Chain A
Amino acid sequence: MPAKKKLTIQDLAKIREKTKSLMTIREGEGRARVTVHMGTCGIAAGARDIMDALLGEIGKANIQDVIVTTSGCAGLCNAEPMMTVEIKNQPPVKYGQLTPDKLRKIFVQHILGGQMVTDLVLVVGSETVY
């Protein structure tokens, strides 16, 4: 096995920088939480492609503090595939009838930029939960 390079203090900081962002997910925190609705209806309507496109974009942008989760049907099956974007301290925003292209727009403008894509928005806020 080739000898690994001995670390210096600067290297240590670099490793930390690089790995820390990959690990923020373990603490359940991030700048944004994106939920792809993957109930039967969502999957049938193409939620899988949306998920792939989203993970692809996150990989390309090389950011690590966006949390991606899945959830079940949001109750508006004709608007699937759907996605909910939650930016810290802002109400959740739901987008519907997504395509990979629409997703890329939302990713750049809303998830990275913090500005919601008004013409694609389905609803802002969430239902009251009893």
Chain B
Amino acid sequence: MKQYRAHLLVCAGTGCVSCGAFKIKAALEQEVKKRNLQDEIQVVATGCNGFCERGPIVLVQPDGIFYQLLQVEDVPHLVEEHLLKGRPVKKLMYVPPAEKQPVPKMKDIEFFKHQRLIVLRNRGRIDPEKIEEYIAFDGYEALAKALSEMTPQAVIDEILFSGLRGRGGAGFPTGKKWAAAAKEKRSPKYLICNGDEGDPGAFMDRSVLEADPHAVLEGMIIGAKAVGASKGFVYIRHEYPLALKRMEIAIAQARESGLLGQDILGTGFDFDLEIVQGAGAFVSGEESALIASVEGRIAMPRQRPPYPAQRGLWGQPTVINNVETWATVPNIIRRGADWFQGLGTETSKGTKIFALVGKIANTGLVEVPMGISLREIVYGIGGGIPDKRDFKAVQIGGPSGGCLPAKLLDLPVDYESLTAAGAMMGSGGMIVMDDKTCMVDIAKYFLNFLQDESCGKCVSCREGTQRMYEIVKAITEGKGKESDLALLEELAQITKDASMCGLGQTAGNPVLTTLRYFRHEYEAHILDKRCPAGVCKSLIRYVVLAEKCTGCQSCKKACPNDCIKGTLKDIHLIDQSKCIKCGACKEACKFEAIEEQRDEAIQII
């Protein structure tokens, strides 16, 4: 490694890669070379920077200047102006919504300002494919400490005392899990890293694996020493090619450097890891199903207890933790349980990563201290709802979670508060919805997902999710009955009570929370045959308001099904028999002359 005067940190997380980050990187390298600056300026590909909304992203250090939404054509200008002449390029900087002045420095941008990075501390800072860079930022220091200065019991005590709880969703205390496995006399013992992230809209685990794979490895090696495991498995779904690639590189590097394999760091401790690819079933994220999948069987959960800590992989004691949990471990060992204890709330310690998606200005990946309010995340970091719409709900915890309304925006984000509100921490997906979202339609979406992903082992889950889906689907089509709501509640409760694994036990949540907070919307669909948000196609129709139509033909051109009639400067008409209710005409109209309407005359057949 050598000294450069500037580093160009190009975000190479999956989000930015899909927007062309590697092309930007190649263009930067080429331009730097053209200007003969290659000995002064280093171009580095890092993991996900977090501000996915604005990709491709380049951070220039040491200046701390944040460039966003880059195009290959911008690169020559950027290199010439900023790197040759030292004039940061304003037009490539971030401009907050509703403001005119750009914010040059990353640390001043609202999205980054309120975050607290522990697990993601190396994101956008190191090249995840270089072990030296991880080591430079205190990587493997915790491992050295755990192997040379601490007894296995001391490591477990530290994790116990830190208050770390599983980041995969249920929030079981990690230290307790480790202690249970350590107590078992049988060997071999196994470790598993659960990277089977299946919630729609969630990408926390993927980003950690992509941005800092060595942190996950280090956590696992420490865990192996603590519980006495000799072999570990990193389970990553095959839909995550970049995460897989970076983890493979990290494991090879760790092995080559003697951080995996025999006699780790010369301390006499042996441990090795291999990657197992998941085939992408949602239920594989459930620990007993995941274990079955690693063993080569169909991913179906089994009855617990015995828990994996007693009888896990091939019947042996096994510790299975989520990606984020493993990546938190080195930080606790390095900085001490006291430090970790000091972050967060009474029962939820540390930080949590959320994937902030949906109708939000700043889509991206955020790490925040536990106990922060939803409002701070949605408005402070997320920048609020775009297009001047109103906030309606935030869906937390994936298909197992729930939708929380505006009145709960001040709810602190911790395991207990979210569960009490009917949602759950889950793995950390956060989908923000605006007033154009129909909550019945959302419930339908998640139920469809769940009935599809249910493994079918428990009748209550297999049949329960299907029946709930059918009922909710009928409601969105205007065929709902008044008695449906009570039936839905009963079904949701039974599915919850009678199913064996987490998938079934939480499958009712999307229905129960939307019924709890948005019951009036269900009632509008059932009693008035009306969709207040104007989403459910069977319950709306688009009409041209004669008094507003100027006959400009914008709608006619926008219609994909040629069902709008009218000549220039004449009032247009929509042929209802051909209309597919896509709403393209409404969007195209500049005069608000198209309205989605509920009409008493609409016949529901």
Contacts and interface: CB of A to CB of B under 8 A. Distances in A.
Contacts of A126: none
Interface string B1-45: 111111101000000000000000000000000000001100000
A49 interface: no
A128 interface: no
A23 B137 contact: yes
Interface stretch (A65-73, A93-101, A102-110, A114-122): A65-73
A25 B85 contact: no
- Interface size on A, as a range, is 35 or more
Interface string B122-136: 000110000011011
B138 interface: yes
B249 to A, nearest CB: 14
Contacts of B136: 15-16, 19-20, 22-23
- DSSP class of B's interface residues: helix, strand, loop or mixed? loop
A22 B1 contact: yes
B256 A28 contact: no
A25 B144 CA distance: 26
Nearest to B88: A71
B62 A9 contact: no
A29 B85 contact: no
B144 A37 contact: no
A71 B84 CA distance: 8
Contacts of A72: 85-87
Contact of A12 (B2, B87, B144): B144
Contacts of B144: 9, 12-13
B265 A25 contact: no
Q: Which of A6, A36, A59, A72: most chain B Cβ within 10 A?
A: A6
- DSSP class of A's interface residues: helix, strand, loop or mixed? mixed
Given A26-B61, A28-B64, A30-B62, A38 B84 contact: yes
Contacts of A12: 135, 140-141, 144, 265
A15 B86 contact: no
Interface in A50-88: 51, 55, 58-59, 64, 67-72
Nearest to B256: A4
A25 B256 CA distance: 28
B3 A59 contact: yes
B265 A7 contact: yes
A103 to B, nearest CB: 15
Contact of A67 (B62, B141, B258, B267): B62
Given A6-B258, A20-B137, A58 B86 contact: no
Contacts of B2: 22, 59
B83 A70 contact: yes
Contacts of A71: 85-87
A3 interface: yes
Contacts of A46: none
A27 B126 CA distance: 11
B256 A19 contact: no
Nearest to A29: B62
B101 interface: no
Given A16-B141, A20-B137, A22-B2, A70 B258 contact: no
Interface in B52-80: 61-64
B135 A69 contact: no
B135 A19 contact: yes
A8 interface: yes
Contacts of B347: none
B257 interface: yes
Nearest to A9: B144
Contact of B259 (A7, A26, A27): A7
B399 to A, nearest CB: 38
Nearest to B148: A9
B482 interface: no
A92 interface: no
B575 interface: no
Given A9-B148, A35-B86, A72-B87, A16 B138 contact: yes
7 contacts: A9-B265, A16-B135, A19-B1, A23-B133, A28-B62, A30-B62, A69-B62
Given A25-B62, A55-B5, 6 more contacts: A25-B7, A27-B62, A36-B86, A37-B86, A38-B84, A69-B63
